[in-house]
Structures are given as structure tokens and as C-alpha cells.
Amino acid sequence: MNILVINCGSSSLKYQLIDMAKEEVLAKGLVERIGIEGSVIKHETMGKEEVKIQEEMKDHKRALELVLSSLTNKDYGAVESLDAIDAVGHRVVHGGEAFADSVIINDEVMKAINDNVEIAPLHNPPNIMGIEACSELMKDVPQVAVFDTAFHQTMPEKNYIYGLPYEYYEKYKVRRYGFHGTSHKYVTEKAAELLNKPVNEVNLITCHLGNGSSITAVENGKSMDSSMGFTPLEGLVMGTRTGNLDPAIITFLMEKENLNPEEMSNLMNKKSGVLGISGVSSDFRDLEDAAKDNHRAQLALDIFESNVRKFIGAYFATLDHVDAIVFTAGVGENSISMRASIVEGLKNLGLKIDDKRNDIRGKAQEISAGDSSVKIFVIPTNEELMIAKETLALTQK
């Protein structure tokens, strides 16, 4: 059974075709600049050379047409025809309160995803475009929606209601949702395997540290609390997002700088975080390179490290015990120095890293010292495989 996994952004489309019998990627690619001049698709079938095709793509439907023709191309494709694609799994950012699990897409599901556009105006519209394009071009192939928010629907009320008048929860569903759920769920299952325990018996603090970052407290395999909120802007300082702020700063800056809501949102989502602090880059590799002789680059790294530590500390206080801390995503999987300094700062909780074990990138491994109070793991995330597994489970039923 081959599953196509689709992740649509406003001007991009990432895809992987996965053979589920072997859990093996057959082909993958990325389309960029959809609807903008200079659209391009980079496609790679495993074992063959990567191809780059520059062609104008006015919308996601045109992009998907090129993806499907690349996948079936005689020379650089992965399958003979579209009949070899059995199902499509779509990443959908915001499921709101309507979805605590992945679902097979039908008209009712589309309506619910559309209803969530109001609370996810930046994220759900491109996901919807991807689903519509697939439904048109692959009429008889089942489509599944896998939501970033679904894993967090187990959060108790006390962790998702904000200190606002309750009527705004009732009227507009303003509450914490939590994101990166597919990744937190994936590493939770992997951590349970490494701990040799059933997943519904593990308590974890999972740290997804990438361009966007979030930390989740997992109790008995379920999300209990998470750092992202109503949108993926809350929580840790990120590549370009503010993370937590005193909310009063928002109205203050809007007045002082004469910003409208859209401009303020853009500032908080695209120009802030470690990029805004450092003035150098949102990329942690650039910051690590610049930090030696650039105070603000070092400051950005210090603030990020301190943010991560505070959330880990808070979730130690939330959970009644912790079996393991997990680091995942770009920074969590690859930054040896960031992991070391986060754990060093937590030594008063008895946490200890083993420098030799920590000297790895992108590999699932325990990195804690033998006498650490809690085990610490690096687990590379694989959101595409998780989406494919959920799609398989639903379409096989």
C-alpha cells in the first residue's frame, strides 16, 4: 500500500510517497513559490537523481498536477501510474475542538475544517487548497486529514482555558489548542519503545525544537499540557515568532508604531523570535556561528535555552513523575551544544547529560548519564510517516 503525504503551505507543497509495507520513502519533493513568479518543483525518487523543474504554477492544483506527473514520470518517477497511490494523507494545522483524531475526509469534515479558518486564517486555507486539488485530480482515492491539534485534545480544561472572560471561549472558542501534535505523538510512541513500556504508561516532556518550537507534557501517553496556544505563536521564543509576551506590549506597540492588526501579527510571526533579537538570522546554525563575536546572537541563544528550561521545569511541576525528556526537530535533533546547555541548567533537578552519548545528530539515542535522575533521549521526528500511518489505519478499516 502506497500513501502520498501532502503538506501545503500558502506558497509551498511538500510531499512524500511512502510504501507502508516497508515504511520506506519511495519519492519526495518540494514545490515552492506557488502563485508567485519563479515557481519550482524539486523532486527526488529514491535511488535516482533529484530533478528540478521550473514552470509557472498559478495555484495548488497546478502544483499538484506537476507532483503527480513527476511521481509517474517514466525516467525520474517512482510508480507507473496513479493507480499505485492508494490513499492520500493531508497535514491540516487546525482541527479546533472538532477533531481529536485523524478522519477520512468527506463533505462534513471539509465543512468543519472550513469552520476553523476563522481561528486559523494563516494555516488552514492552504491545507484546504491541497485537499481540494487532490479530490479533483484523484477522485476515487481516499483522503485523510491529520491534524496538528488532535493529539492535544486530551488536555484538561484547567490547562486550556485562558484567564479571559469565559464568554470568549463560548463565543469564539478562544482556548489553548497546542500544535506539532503529530510530532509529539510520534516521539511519544518511539520513547515508549525505548523505555520498553506500553505507551499509555509513559510520562514525558517532549521538546520539539525547530524553526517553530513547542514543548508538551505527556501523561500516560496523552497530551496533558503544551506550550503553544490558540495559535502556534505562544510559548517558546522561536525562529521568527515571539513566543510568550506580556499581552500589554501588543496594544502598546500598535499605538506607538501605528500598526494595524495584520501588521502587528506579521511582526510577531515573521520578524521576531531569535531573528528579531539577534538581527542575524532565524537559523540556529547561523546564530551558533555568529555567537563568538556577536553579543545579540549569543543573547538569542541564551534566551531560547532559558525558555526551554523554564517549560521543562514547569512540566516537571505539572506531571507527578517524568520517565524521560525527549529532544526532537531541527535544533533538538542536531544542536549538540544547545542540548548540553539546556540540560546543564537543569542539574538541580538531577538531570545529567553524557557528553559522549550527546555527540550525535539525527539519531534515536539515550543521551543521559547513567546517574541522571531522568532519562533523556534524542528521537528524530517523522511527521510524514506518522501521517501515513494514521492514513493507513483509517483507510484499511
- Give me 64's grid cell: 499538484
For residue 347, the surrounding DSSP H or E stretch is: none
Name the amino acid, one letter, at 338. Answer: M
| Of 125-133, 214-222, 251-259, 282-290: span binding ligand ADP (CB under 6 A) | 282-290
Strand partners, 377: 326, 366
Please provide the size of the chain in residues.
397
What is the DSSP secondary structure assignment for residue 294, as one 8-state letter?
-
| Of 13-21, 114-122, 210-218, 301-309: span binding ligand ADP (CB under 6 A) | 210-218
Q: Give residue number: closest CB to ligand ADP.
A: 330
Local structure of 76: helix, strand or coil:
coil
Local structure of 213: helix, strand or coil:
strand
Binding pattern for the stretch 361-390 against ligand ADP, x by CB under 6 A and - elsewhere: x-----------------------------
The answer to whether 152 and 131 are in contact (CB under 8 A) is no
> Is residue 331 near ligand ADP by the rule CB under 6 A?
yes
- Give me 105's grid cell: 475526509
Among 212, 243, 276, 380, binds ligand ADP (CB under 6 A): 212
> Within 13 A of 185's CA, how many CA atoms are on the CB side?
24
* CB of residue 256 to ligand ADP, shortest distance in Å: 30
* CB of residue 373 to ligand ADP, shortest distance in Å: 26
Give the Cα-Cα-Cα angle 222, 186, 107 (nearest 5 degrees). 85
Kind of pairing, strands 24-32 and 13-19? antiparallel
> Is residue 285 near ligand ADP by the rule CB under 6 A?
yes
> Is residue 329 near ligand ADP by the rule CB under 6 A?
yes
148 assigned to active site: yes
Question: Which residues between 342 and 361 bind ligand ADP (CB under 6 A)?
Answer: 361
Backbone φ, ψ for residue 186 (5° rounding): -60, -50
> What is the Cα gyration radius of the chain?
21
> Is residue 335 near ligand ADP by the rule CB under 6 A?
yes
Whose Cβ is closer to ligand ADP: residue 204's or residue 331's?
A: 331
Kind of pairing, strands 324-328 and 375-378? parallel
| Of 104-112, 133-141, 150-158, 328-336: span binding ligand ADP (CB under 6 A) | 328-336
Whose Cβ is closer to ligand ADP: residue 77's or residue 212's?
A: 212
| Of 72-80, 85-93, 204-212, 246-254: span binding ligand ADP (CB under 6 A) | 204-212
Name the amino acid, one letter, at 61. Answer: K
| Of 37-45, 98-106, 220-228, 284-292: span binding ligand ADP (CB under 6 A) | 284-292
Number of residues this chain uses to bind ligand ADP (CB under 6 A): 14
Alpha helices in the chain (DSSP H): 60-71, 107-115, 124-137, 157-160, 167-172, 181-195, 248-256, 261-270, 273-278, 284-290, 295-318, 329-334, 336-344, 383-396
Strand partners, 222: 219
* CB of residue 288 to ligand ADP, shortest distance in Å: 6
The answer to whether 191 and 114 are in contact (CB under 8 A) is no
User: 148, 283, 302, 359: which is the annotated catalytic residue?
Assistant: 148
The answer to whether 20 and 71 are in contact (CB under 8 A) is no
Among 99, 160, 284, 377, binds ligand ADP (CB under 6 A): 284
Among 73, 159, 211, 265, binds ligand ADP (CB under 6 A): 211
Whose Cβ is closer to ligand ADP: residue 77's or residue 239's?
A: 239
Whose Cβ is closer to ligand ADP: residue 3's or residue 329's?
A: 329
> Is residue 334 near ligand ADP by the rule CB under 6 A?
yes
Name the amino acid, one letter, at 267. Answer: L
Among 95, 96, 229, 239, binds ligand ADP (CB under 6 A): 239
* CB of residue 213 to ligand ADP, shortest distance in Å: 8
Residues near ligand ADP (CB under 6 A) are 210-212, 239, 283-285, 288, 329-331, 334-335, 361
Residues marked active site are found at 148
